[in-house]
Amino acid sequence: MPITQQNALVLPQKGADFVLDTAIPVPKPGKEEVLVKVKSVALTPADAKLRKFGLIYGDYPGILGFDITGEVVELGEGADRFKVGDRVFYGGNFVNEYCGFQEYALADQNTTMLIPSTLSYDEAATLPVALWTAYLGLYNIIPYGLALKSILDDGGMGAYEGKAIFISGGPSSVGQTAIQFAKLSGFTYIITTASAKHTEYLKSLGATHIVDRDIPVAEIPAALKNIVGSLEIESAYDAIGDADTSLAQAMAAIVPGGRVLTTNPMVVFEPQDGKALSRVNATATIQHNVEPLRKLAVRIPSLLEAKSIQPARIEVLPGGFSAIPEGLDRIFNGQVSGVKLVIHPEDTA
């Protein structure tokens, strides 16, 4: 008998806290979709913000959960990239049926990625949203990305040898992944802001220089000149999305004519001095994201296998869905440092 109902952690209405609903229908995969039995989900700032400030999509009751891994259990019509039993990971796409705080979720086969045998479900769960946001932010077209030459295109690997990039917020999941892509792009200088405790780890990922995260914006040009000399920094990636700190630091890092990418698509910020701003929204269904993410889905397993991209460090929360509210509180209050919080639906009592 196919399973028709499942457990899901649901937001009943704006401002109300999560409840465990034991009778949510198991969705049917449509054309080029697969049904995934969710194994491991990582908690993200997006989950924390949408829970507090309200859904920006659909109606209540709402389901969150954007860093999803699991096992393919059913194939929709024309779904030929995967077979039943494959281990996959992907980003939830802001529709209840495609989100991860439930036992079974839908996935678009074309942007869903195969987990290589070298990674556990927990490790893979740290990656989807960060991967998509870092990849699109660096390589997608203007004004959605920095339009750097993609590492997935001919000649893209190592293309920026001799150049420098500034990344504010290296310890964030997105920042860690952007550092690793920047390394593959060949940047000679990968300069990131972080608290000192993250120095060794970020250098292991490819950062060449760490600048204190609290450096005043006015001191950025001199600090960078000490590192790169007369080399001009044309590109910067704001992995935090705060107008007054991380974004202002990134703007101060680049030369006139340069461009900053911010991970805050809604931020109010007017670039000055001939500098430009791109904004990434890593939702997979947005038209300009579809092709880049399809290409990434095909190529990412081999990059992971080769350890060219590494998963983040993890903290597994016991208790399954019941651990999510406290985990999201910790994220919202800035109490998670350099790790991804991960839960297993199967651990729910």
Ligand X SMILES: NC(=O)c1ccc[n+]([C@@H]2O[C@H](COP(=O)([O-])OP(=O)(O)OC[C@H]3O[C@@H](n4cnc5c(N)ncnc54)[C@H](OP(=O)(O)O)[C@@H]3O)[C@@H](O)[C@H]2O)c1
> Between residues 83 and 313, which has the closer beta carbon with respect to ligand X?
313
What is the distance, to the nearest Å, from the Cα of residue 267 to the centroid of all Cα atoms in its chain? 18
What character string, x for contact with ligand X (CB under 6 A) and - otherwise, covers 150-179? ------------------xx-xxxx-----
Q: Which residue in the set 193, 208, 289, 310 belongs to the binding site for ligand X (CB under 6 A)? A: 193
In the block, tokens 């889905």 appear at: 297
Beta strands at 189-194 and 209-212: parallel, antiparallel or unpaired: parallel
3-class DSSP assignment, residue 200: helix
Q: Contact between 213 and ligand X (CB under 6 A)?
A: yes
67-75 and 87-91: which strand pairing? antiparallel
> Six-digit token pair at 195?
């608290």
Query: Is residue 180 part of the contact set for ligand X (CB under 6 A)?
Result: no
Q: Which of residues 82-141 bind ligand X (CB under 6 A)?
A: 129-130, 133
Question: Is there binding between residue 195 and ligand X (CB under 6 A)?
Answer: yes
297, 155 Cβ separation under 8 angstroms: no
CA distance 256 to 178: 23
Q: Which of 44, 93, 102, 180 binds ligand X (CB under 6 A)?
A: 44
Give the span between the Cα atoms of 137 and 152, in whole angstroms: 14
Closer to ligand X by CB, 46 or 107: give it: 46
Q: Which of 96, 111, 140, 246 binds ligand X (CB under 6 A)?
A: 246
Distance in Å, CB of 5 to ligand X, minimum:
31
**CB 77: neighbour CB atoms within 10 A?**
10
Nearest Cα to 234, choosing from 181, 297, 182? 182
Among 109, 140, 245, 278, binds ligand X (CB under 6 A): 245
Interaction site with ligand X (CB under 6 A) = 44-46, 129-130, 133, 168-169, 171-174, 193-195, 213, 239-242, 245-246, 263, 265, 280-282, 331, 336-338
